[in-house]
């Protein structure tokens, strides 16, 4: 039995402790916003937050994170209204959408530790892969999300919506 917290809910997984967190989330908890891309730690589609850090959940066994606090894209915000989600929608970052939950989680973790990231900071912190080529708009949107989080941009033309949470 492995115990930790997912999206503020205590969980106990009756799974082999070597089970990757990605599969516990998707198959045992039905949190399918966290995506499988490569399974080798390269693409970032499976990124979640563990104790404040962006982590590739395909590379973490549930047995190794006993007692931690995990946040998935479903738990990032109450109404898909995290500044990153709002900025992504406003900038039309989303193309096919497959990489977006992981991108959002990586961006949100970056903004928690760096309130004013440079383009280089963003590129260095968000190494997730996107087959649709969203990178220029991604950098722009993360920069705007940072300004919104700092209160320098009221985000008046942004809106929250389901696409930012589960696409
Ligand atoms: S599925 Fe985890 S990094 Fe690609
Ligand atoms: S939006 Fe299609 S993979 Fe990134």
What are the pLDDT digits (tens) for 58-82? Answer: 999 999 999 999 999 999 999 999 9
pLDDT at 166 over 70: no
Burial of residue 43, with CB atoms counted within 10 A of its CB: 0-12 exposed, 13-18 middle, 19 or more buried: buried
Q: What is the pLDDT of residues 77-106, one digit of tens each?
A: 999 999 999 999 999 999 999 999 999 999
Q: Quick one: fold of 83-166? A: DNA polymerase; domain 1 (1.10.150)
- How much is the mean pLDDT over the chain? 94
User: Residue 162: what pLDDT?
Assistant: 47
User: Residue 164: what pLDDT?
Assistant: 43
Q: What is the pLDDT of residues 104-151, one digit of tens each?
A: 999 999 999 999 999 999 999 999 999 999 999 999 999 999 999 999
| CA 36 to centroid of ligand 1, rounded, Å | 6
Residue ranges of the chain assigned to CATH 3.10.20.30: 2-75
16 to each of 3, 26, 34, 41, 62, how far by Cα in Å?
A: 12, 15, 20, 20, 8
- Give SS3 for 57: helix
pLDDT at 163 over 80: no
Which residues does a 6 A CB cutoff place in the pocket of ligand 2?
Answer: 94-100, 130-132, 134
CB 8 within 8 A of CB 15: no
What's the N-to-C CA distance of the chain in angstroms? 31
User: Residue 28: what pLDDT?
Assistant: 97
38 CA closest ligand 1 atom index: 4
Residue ranges of the chain assigned to CATH 1.10.150.120: 83-166
The CATH number fitting domain 2-75, selected from 3.40.228.10, 3.40.50.300, 3.10.20.30, 1.10.357.10 = 3.10.20.30
């Amino acid at each position: 039995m492995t115990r930790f917290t997912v999206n503020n809910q205590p969980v106990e997984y009756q799974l082999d402790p070597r089970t990757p967190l990605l599969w516990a989330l998707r198959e045992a908890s039905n949190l399918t916003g966290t995506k499988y891309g490569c399974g080798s730690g390269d693409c970032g589609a499976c990124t979640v937050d563990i104790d404040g850090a962006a982590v590739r959940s395909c590379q973490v066994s549930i047995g190794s994170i006993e007692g931690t606090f995990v946040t998935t894209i479903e738990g990032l915000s109450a109404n898909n209204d995290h500044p990153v989600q709002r900025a992504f929608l406003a900038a039309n970052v989303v193309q096919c959408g497959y990489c977006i939950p992981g991108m959002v989680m990586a961006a949100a973790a970056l903004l928690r530790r760096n309130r004013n990231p440079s383009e280089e900071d963003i590129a260095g912190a968000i190494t997730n892969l996107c087959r649709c080529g969203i990178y220029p708009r991604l950098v722009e949107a993360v920069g705007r999300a940072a300004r919104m989080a700092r209160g320098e941009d009221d985000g008046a033309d942004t809106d929250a919506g389901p696409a930012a949470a589960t696409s």
